[in-house]
């Protein structure tokens, strides 16, 4: 990766919030910020391409907003032909973080509604941060832990992000008492949390971590936990309480109803 944050914009208030979030992330990381807008190709070759001036103006305004939020950050911008999905996936190959808004217009319409959300989180080559239009809180970073190998990347991201933000981590595991194997219980969930977090404290000794085992349905549990958080970090797939986390109803609930930005980290396992 090239110490780069990428944000997708479309002129909506949602994407403007994403620009502000991306500028703050670039400032924390001392990274370059790249602002990109995807413009779809004409359906028929006979059609004239759209006037590029408004598109470049849209991106320039977004870049200026980023500079106002974080004047010390180097900001670049581009208008790229292609679908939002294709453009952002390609950009993620050279980015440390991809930032998008929860909803949009134009080329980005529905980007985080329905199957496209799962596609982006499944195919992005870097973590995806879904911003919120409302100001983020000042609480902890909530880390959803499921104990899967794929979730290890999310744990590492959460610790690094906590160090950048000087924030504490609230590591949570959701379980349903009626859906666990005989002989297991809250104690097993506590051991799962401890195993998942092992070793990271030594690397980030200044990061305070709290553990919490929450009893309840996964979607409702995570949404409640997000109320007091400044960021929620989840893996792109999981097992147990988080099975199918970003494939279907749980992903929709979290992306639409979480009360803070959500970072989705795709594991390599």
Tens of pLDDT along the chain (269 residues) come to 569 999 999 888 888 999 999 999 999 999 999 999 988 765 555 556 667 788 899 999 999 999 999 999 999 999 999 988 899 999 999 999 999 887 655 555 445 444 455 567 778 899 999 898 887 778 999 998 887 777 889 999 999 999 999 999 999 988 776 555 554 556 777 888 989 999 998 999 999 999 998 888 878 888 999 998 999 998 876 444 454 444 435 556 777 788 999 998 886 65
Cα atoms in the Cβ-side hemisphere of radius 13 Å centred on 253: 15
Give the span between the Cα atoms of 41 and 43, in whole angstroms: 6
Which value, to the nearest 10 degrees, does the dihedral of the CA atoms of residues 251, 267, 7, 256 take?
10
User: Is residue 10 within 8 Å of 37, Cβ to Cβ?
Assistant: yes
User: Is residue 12 within 8 Å of 104, Cβ to Cβ?
Assistant: yes
Instruction: Please tell me the predicted confidence (pLDDT) of residue 108.
Output: 53
Give the span between the Cα atoms of 217 and 51, in whole angstroms: 49
CATH number of 4-130: 3.40.50.620
Cα distance between the two ends of the chain: 19
Q: Which CATH number fits domain 141-265: 3.40.1110.10, 3.90.550.10, 3.40.50.12370, 3.20.20.70?
A: 3.40.50.12370
Instruction: Please tell me the predicted confidence (pLDDT) of residue 146.
Output: 80
Instruction: Please tell me the predicted confidence (pLDDT) of residue 248.
Output: 39
Instruction: Please tell me the predicted confidence (pLDDT) of residue 230.
Output: 96
Can you name the residues that pair with 38 across neighbouring β-strands?
A: 80
Query: Is it true that 4-130 and 141-265 share their CATH fold?
Result: yes
Single out the residue of 243, 223, 244, 247 nearest to residue 116, CA to CA. 247
- Could you state, in order of their start, the residue ranges of all structural domains in the chain? 4-130, 141-265
């Amino acid at each position: 990766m090239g110490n780069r944050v990428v944000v997708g914009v479309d002129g909506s208030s949602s994407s403007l919030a994403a620009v502000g979030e991306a500028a703050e992330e670039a400032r924390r990381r001392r990274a370059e910020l790249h602002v990109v807008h995807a413009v779809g190709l004409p359906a028929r070759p006979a059609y004239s391409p759209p006037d590029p001036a408004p598109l470049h103006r849209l991106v320039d305004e977004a870049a200026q907003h980023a500079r106002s939020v974080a004047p010390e950050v180097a900001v670049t911008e581009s208008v790229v032909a292609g679908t939002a999905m294709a453009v952002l996936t390609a950009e993620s190959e050279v980015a440390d973080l991809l930032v998008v808004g929860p909803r949009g217009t134009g080329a980005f319409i529905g980007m985080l509604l329905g199957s496209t959300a799962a596609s982006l989180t499944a195919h992005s080559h870097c973590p995806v941060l879904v911003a919120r239009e409302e100001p983020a809180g000042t609480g902890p970073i909530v880390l959803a832990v499921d104990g899967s190998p794929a979730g290890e990347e999310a744990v590492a991201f959460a610790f690094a992000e906590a160090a950048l933000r000087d924030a504490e981590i609230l590591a949570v595991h959701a379980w349903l008492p009626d859906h666990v194997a005989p002989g297991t219980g809250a104690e097993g969930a506590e051991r799962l949390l401890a195993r998942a977090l092992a070793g990271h404290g030594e690397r980030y000794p200044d990061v305070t971590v709290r553990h919490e085992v929450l009893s309840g349905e996964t979607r409702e549990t995570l949404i409640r936990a997000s109320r007091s958080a400044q960021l929620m970090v989840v893996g792109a797939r999981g097992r147990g309480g988080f099975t199918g986390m970003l494939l279907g109803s749980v992903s929709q609930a979290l992306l639409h109803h979480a009360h803070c930005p959500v970072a989705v980290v795709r594991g390599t396992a």
